Structure 1
Amino acid sequence: MSTAPTMSQKSSSGAPDRPHGGGGRAWTVTALLVVFMMVNFADKSVLGLAADEIRADLHLSATQFGLANSAFFLLFSLSAVVVGLVADRVSPRLLLLAMAVLWSVAQAPAAFGGGLAVLITSRVVLGAAEGPAFPVAQQATLAWFPNHRRNLPGALITLGVTLGVIVSAPGLSWVIQHHGWRAALWVLAGAGLVWALAWKAFGADGRHGAGAGQTRAIPGDGAPTAVPSAVPYRRIFATRTWIGATLAYFTSYWSVALMLVWLPSYLRNALGHPAHTAALLVVVPWAIGAVALLAQAGITGRLMRRGVSSRRARGWVGGWLLAVGAACLLAQTLVDGSDGKTVLVALGFGLGGSYATVAATTVAEIAPAGRSGGSLGAMNAVVTAAGLAAPAVVGALVDAQGNNGYHLAVTFSGVLLVIGAAASFLLIDPARDIVRLSR
């Protein structure tokens, strides 16, 4: 499938857009948004890193701790949809700035003190502020690049997710062990404010809409087609591509949620690793995910430059990531010993949790400029429902089954990834759905 510019657009300043995209300003904005996602996922991971300390301090069962983490996602999905729709009409630059400031403010109540109620309230507010982060950051980044150049910047934004945990986990673990878990919240609040100042100084909106200024060749006759900007959202959501990308991403995000909330405890309690070892091991699946993201972006970009369809370049490549991740998670049931299980779980979660870029760039490809924010936001809302369910489900399993509950949770994640891989292979076909949406 090929893309070609058919019209020039104008930026908010009135300057005509260039067809190739990129440039120094584009990469500066991309770098800032990578850091934005790093702060975002450091915020998400801190309770998991401090799980045992928080449970001991607040006298929480595993179920209660799981519910406190699930509370983070209570308004997460709703805000992703609402702000995603707003992002089609309001400057993403302003929305991102507001989000970063709110993150810092939301950390303060639990950082000051209080019990379970304060912690839950703080996490609900933080979740509402962070819900739209990924889709708006993707939209803001992809708006600087035409479709055929989006795989790398899209992957870099997702890489910010993994880097956020890789970079922050050792430092936050040290703060938690030496100064308490509330001190870690103050560190994160400060990081959010520093990013907001940098974004205010250097952030900017891009010139490329997700589907604007581009045509696609209709399979068979090569004639160009474009999705009308006024196509109803319900038609986009009814496409097999949107459904397939969303379902596959949901199963991937389930693994991400378990890594964020329960992986440190799993390593310490179920696999018997000491606390300082677990603090280092917890970054391994995220590091594997970072390599997988960059590899996927490189493979996908090369395939698309050679004219391979997005169905194969995105859907099939993403499907293999989930399939191999599933195989590793299911194989850990056949292995005895903590070392073997640790390796397989790290590979399974690392590969299985690396689908976000595939999902975002695939949906951005079929959505026209005026519908990209809402389409990505709605996908994110469905997907992050996994974050609402997974922590609570695993907490209940641990209370009911003890350490065996952790192993059951890993196996269930493998089963979900099998379903996600099938959806990616069988349902995603942007070229087909672009033609249907254009009619």
Structure 2
Amino acid sequence: MKFVEEQTLSARNPAYADTTKRSRVRYIVLSMLLAATILNYVDRSALGIVAPGLSKGLALDKMQMGELFAAFGLAYSIGLVPGGILTDILGSRVAYALSLLGWSFATLTQGLATGYHMLLGSRLAIGALEAPAFPSNARAVTLWFPARERGFATSVYVMGQYIGTPLFTGLLLWISAAYGWRMVFYVTGGVGILFSLLWYRVYRDPHQHASVNTAELQYINDGSTAARKPREKFDWRMALKLLSYRQILAICIGKFCNNTLLVFFTTWFMTYLIEARHMSMIKVGIFQALPFIGATAGILLAGSLSDFFIRRGVSISTARKTPLIIGTLLGASIVLVNFVESNEAVIAILTIAFFAQGVGSMSWAAVSEIAPRQYVGLTSSITSLAANIAGVTTPLMIGYITHHTGNFYWALNLMGAICLLGALSYSVLLGKLSRIEL
């Protein structure tokens, strides 16, 4: 009876057929996306890790450090739309390989800096060259995973934003103490260069990958055996046209607000613990990992639950939107650190706030659900551009406020208010998620 039932299901749904023989190449691809994202965030946040020692060594004040942090965000934001276009034209294999190679060389050059202006040039280069990374991630996930697995896949590579810091901060602090802060940039840049070569050698799109069998291709396409549509000629006017859609505008606002917290943790967090909370380097080495672990748990929980609810029949719109609203709203809890004294309570609050930011980072899955298939890279780059404007505003805001007030009080309050704005955008403006057809 069971055999007859399986035959019937196989005939009705090709995606069900030959599941025991289906290849699993998409998980190898996902592991490479995770590794690339870890490298991406370790390289961009390395300056924040060595900031206390570097700023003293090069005699840089708070305003100058804020400008250096913001320089990355400025160049990254400007490069995102061209980066998305490059991804759509060249594909994830070539675009990501070039991006990895370029930003890794730029990371390495930070170790050669003798002053503010050399560091500024390196930070601008890193930002511009990292721009194709997340559009390439989004494109690869859209091509390699069916809708019912896309939330989980997105959460896995986004997790790379958070696990790199707790995994490698202790090592990078040790390298800095033992060999100087310059060696941190030489090591992180060198590893990225090697990985860019590995990526180019291994990655292919599903229909070009020699190890993917027909069963996995059918599963990825939800049982469809139709050939992919040829790439349409790019039209620059599409960038403005996409921004006219309410869904994309709402996600742009929400991502900017949610990303404000992430930028704080990847730039000023170490300085906050050492200078505002007067923690020793030993305590910093222990405590700094907890918020990042919380954020990792947040993004994994949000992605897994989102996919679970879709499999249970909940609409894609509800399953993808709920984590965005809850995450950005709970992120406002960061203001509570202004009202506690103990280091343990501070880290607990920051862990909750960063956990919430991780939950809210499920916006990448929402982008994958609404983006026109022929413009996944461009749509991803537009929404990522909005998010990464926070990479400019947040470091400058914190640098300016701390320079003039001598503390982080008003900076943290402002970040909480920005999170509330993001929750409003996701809950009121976004509306129902659906694929945009052009």
TM-score normalised by the chain length of structure 1:
0.85
Q: Give the counterpart letter for 2:325 in structure 1.
A: G
Q: Give the counterpart letter for 2:128 in structure 1.
A: A
Residues 277 and 214 of structure 1: CA distance in aligned 2, closer, same or farther (over 3 Å) = same
RMSD: 2.7
CA-CA distance at 1:323 after TM superposition: 1.4
Q: Which of 195-204 and 98-107 deviates more? A: 195-204
Structure 1 Cα separation of the partners of residues 20 and 389 of structure 2? 37
Residues 63 and 23 of structure 1: CA distance in aligned 2, closer, same or farther (over 3 Å) = farther
Percent sequence identity over aligned pairs: 22
Q: Which residue of 2 aligns with 1:334?
A: 339
Q: Which of the residues 262, 265, 270 maps onto 2:271?
A: 265
Q: Which residue of 1 aligns with 2:294?
A: 288
Q: Give the counterpart letter for 1:281 in structure 2.
A: F
CA-CA distance at 1:193 after TM superposition: 1.6
Q: 2:338 aligned with 1:347, yes or no?
A: no
Q: Residues 11-22 of structure 1: matches in 2 within 5 Å?
A: none
Structure 2 Cα separation of the partners of residues 381 and 159 of structure 1? 19
Structure 1 Cα separation of the partners of residues 325 and 78 of structure 2? 27
Q: Residues 215-234 of structure 1: matches in 2 within 5 Å?
A: 232-234=238-240
- SS of 1:100's partner is helix
Q: Which of the residues 244, 250, 254 maps onto 1:244?
A: 250
Residues 247 and 59 of structure 1: CA distance in aligned 2, closer, same or farther (over 3 Å) = same
Q: Give the counterpart letter for 1:366 in structure 2.
A: I
CA-CA distance at 1:234 after TM superposition: 3.7
Q: Which residue of 1 aligns with 2:84?
A: 84
- SS of 1:272's partner is coil
Q: Residues 102-113 of structure 1: matches in 2 within 5 Å?
A: 102-113=102-113
**Count of residues in Structure 1 that have an aligned counterpart in Structure 2:** 403
Q: Which residue of 2 aligns with 1:151?
A: 151
CA-CA distance at 1:381 after TM superposition: 1.1
Residues 229 and 364 of structure 1: CA distance in aligned 2, closer, same or farther (over 3 Å) = farther
Q: Which residue of 1 aligns with 2:391?
A: 387
Q: Give the counterpart letter for 2:380 in structure 1.
A: L
Q: Which residue of 2 aligns with 1:415?
A: 417
Q: Give the counterpart letter for 1:175 in structure 2.
A: I
Q: Give the counterpart letter for 1:350 in structure 2.
A: F
Decide whether the 8 Å contact of 1:21 with 1:145 is kept in 2: no
Q: 2:384 aligned with 1:359, yes or no?
A: no
Q: Which residue of 2 aligns with 1:179?
A: 179
Residues 430 and 144 of structure 1: CA distance in aligned 2, closer, same or farther (over 3 Å) = farther
Q: 2:281 aligned with 1:275, yes or no?
A: yes
Q: Which residue of 2 aligns with 1:46?
A: 46
Q: Which residue of 2 aligns with 1:121?
A: 121
Decide whether the 8 Å contact of 2:58 with 2:114 is kept in 1: no
Q: Residues 159-174 of structure 1: matches in 2 within 5 Å?
A: 159-174=159-174
Q: Which residue of 2 aligns with 1:196?
A: 196
Decide whether the 8 Å contact of 1:323 with 1:418 is kept in 2: yes
Q: Which of the residues 305, 309, 313 maps onto 1:307?
A: 313
Q: Which residue of 1 aligns with 2:4?
A: none
Q: Which residue of 1 aligns with 2:429?
A: 427
Q: 2:65 aligned with 1:61, yes or no?
A: no
Q: Give the counterpart letter for 1:331 in structure 2.
A: L
Higher helix share: 2
CA-CA distance at 1:360 after TM superposition: 1.5
Decide whether the 8 Å contact of 2:301 with 2:359 is kept in 1: no
CA-CA distance at 1:101 after TM superposition: 0.8
Q: 2:404 aligned with 1:400, yes or no?
A: yes
Q: Which residue of 1 aligns with 2:372?
A: 368
